[in-house]
């Protein structure tokens, strides 16, 4: 009985390793061909002047020099992209949490409300951008029509250097339901005996929120923050469709500038330098967030974690 079983296990383990490598090979090939190699290649290309027609010409660090010191647009577009993200992400988290908390109060019609709030989160791209371009129209748009009911004369949102970024923040707030669904699930998983114990100890509503709810949700919020940064920094379609970077470059988000350099001006070297700076910027932002995590993200003692 023992002998055949042992022989079986040996071949099983060897076979397992072969099968495992066979099964990860598509991803591994994709990683090497479409991620690792292009990463290195774009760094190399960034040291060359190359318009795809004539042969590449080595220019050293000239593109980085231009990017940081002589061309004002890359740092301007990076700045407005970061400002947009810093406004958009916290607002989406706060509103998403607030709606989730309201939905988590034993109300009737939870499924209906959840569907309504979640619906816009599935929509994105050109159709949504065109819809919001129309909503922001200064004379005939929905937003200013609604504001007029309250006696407010709204600005020419997409035509104003001041209001164009707030307009994009408002538009992104429409899909607040994406995060809300996740927070709601997190709230429903918090054991109720925690609240009952707190209530017995005389904790008021605010104390329960700040001492129980938010700490218990902090890993979820942290994950939303990280994905939020990566997602918001990549804003492109909306500005391409709605403003084309205007007015006066006030909504020239970073990827729009990169796109223009690469695929309209065919400056492959300069665009590659822009891509690398973008990569480092996003990486830095995420690393800063990870560094703050230990001060506010609460992980339960590693108990039921392992399967």
The Cα–Cα gap between 71 and 94 comes to 37
Query: Closest approach of Cβ 45 to other proteins, in Å?
Result: 7
Interaction between residue 218 and other proteins (CB under 8 A):
no
- Site stretch for other proteins (CB under 8 A), options 68-76, 84-92, 158-166, 216-224: 216-224
Inter-residue long-range contacts of 5-14, CB under 8 Å, 24+ positions, other chains counted: none
Query: Closest approach of Cβ 182 to other proteins, in Å?
Result: 3
Among 49, 212, 240, 249, binds other proteins (CB under 8 A): 240
Residues 82-101 that bind other proteins (CB under 8 A): 99
Give the residue with the Cβ less far from other proteins, 57 or 196: 196
Among 48, 164, 169, 179, binds other proteins (CB under 8 A): 179
Among 88, 92, 220, 232, binds other proteins (CB under 8 A): 220
Tokens found for residue 20: 């495992």
Interaction between residue 7 and other proteins (CB under 8 A):
no
Among 10, 83, 94, 116, binds other proteins (CB under 8 A): 116
Interaction between residue 134 and other proteins (CB under 8 A):
yes
Interaction between residue 42 and other proteins (CB under 8 A):
yes
Cα–Cα nearest to 157, from 244, 90, 243: 243
Interaction between residue 51 and other proteins (CB under 8 A):
no
Give the residue with the Cβ less far from other proteins, 70 or 105: 105
- Site stretch for other proteins (CB under 8 A), options 15-23, 71-79, 206-214, 291-299: 15-23
- φ, ψ of residue 48 to 5 degrees: the values are -120, 155
Give the residue with the Cβ less far from other proteins, 14 or 207: 14
- Site stretch for other proteins (CB under 8 A), options 60-68, 77-85, 86-94, 266-274: 266-274
Among 10, 83, 94, 127, binds other proteins (CB under 8 A): 127
- Site stretch for other proteins (CB under 8 A), options 34-42, 79-87, 161-169, 245-253: 34-42
The per-residue DSSP string of the chain comes to -HHHHHHHHHHHHHHHHHHHHHHHHHHHHHHIIIIIHHHHHHHHHTTEE--SSSPPEE-TTHHHHIIIII-HHHHHHHHHHHHHHHHHHHHHHHHHHHHHHHHTTT-TTHHHHHHHHHHHHH--SHHHHHHHHHHT-TTT-HHHHHHHHTT-----GGG-TTTHHHHHHHHHHTTTHHHHHHHHHHHHTS-HHHHHHHHHTT--HHHHIIIIIHHHHHHHHHHHHHHHHHHHHT--HHHHHHTTT-STTTT--HHHHHHIIIIIS--HHHHHHHHHHHHHHHHHHHHHHHHHHHHH-----SSTT--
Interaction between residue 37 and other proteins (CB under 8 A):
yes
Query: Closest approach of Cβ 223 to other proteins, in Å?
Result: 6
- Site stretch for other proteins (CB under 8 A), options 19-27, 82-90, 153-161, 206-214: 19-27
Helix axes 126-135, 142-149, angle to 10 degrees: 40
Among 10, 16, 90, 298, binds other proteins (CB under 8 A): 16
Interaction between residue 38 and other proteins (CB under 8 A):
yes
Q: Are 191 and 107 in contact (CB under 8 A)?
A: no
Give the residue with the Cβ less far from other proteins, 129 or 165: 129
């Amino acid at each position: 009985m023992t002998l055949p079983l042992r022989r079986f296990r040996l071949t099983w383990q060897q076979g397992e390793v072969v099968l495992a490598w066979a099964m990860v090979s598509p991803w591994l090939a994709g990683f090497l061909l479409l991620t690792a190699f292009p990463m290195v290649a774009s760094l190399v290309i960034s040291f060359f002047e190359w318009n795809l027609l004539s042969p590449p010409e080595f220019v050293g660090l000239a593109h980085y020099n231009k990017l940081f010191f002589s061309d004002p647009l890359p740092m301007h577009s990076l700045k407005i992209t970061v400002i947009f993200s810093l406004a958009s992400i916290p607002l989406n988290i706060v509103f998403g949490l607030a709606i989730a908390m309201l939905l988590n109060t034993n109300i009737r019609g939870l499924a209906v409300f959840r569907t309504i709030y979640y619906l816009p989160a599935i929509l994105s791209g050109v159709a949504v951008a065109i819809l919001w371009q129309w909503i922001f129209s200064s004379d005939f748009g929905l937003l200013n029509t609604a504001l007029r009911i309250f006696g407010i004369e709204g600005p020419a949102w997409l035509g104003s250097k001041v209001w164009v970024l707030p307009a994009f923040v408002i538009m992104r707030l429409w899909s607040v339901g994406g995060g809300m669904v996740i927070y709601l699930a997190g709230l429903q998983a918090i054991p109720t005996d925690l609240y009952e114990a707190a209530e017995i100890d005389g904790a008021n509503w605010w104390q329960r929120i700040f001492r129980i709810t938010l700490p218990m949700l902090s890993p979820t919020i942290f994950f939303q923050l990280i994905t939020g940064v990566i997602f918001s920094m990549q804003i492109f379609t909306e500005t391409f469709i709605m403003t084309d970077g205007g007015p006066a470059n006030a909504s020239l988000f970073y990827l729009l500038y990169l796109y223009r350099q690469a695929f309209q001006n065919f400056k492959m070297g300069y665009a590659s330098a822009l891509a690398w700076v973008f990569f480092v910027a996003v990486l830095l932002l995420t690393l800063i967030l990870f560094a703050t995590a230990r001060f506010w993200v609460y992980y339960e003692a590693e108990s039921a974690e392992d399967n």
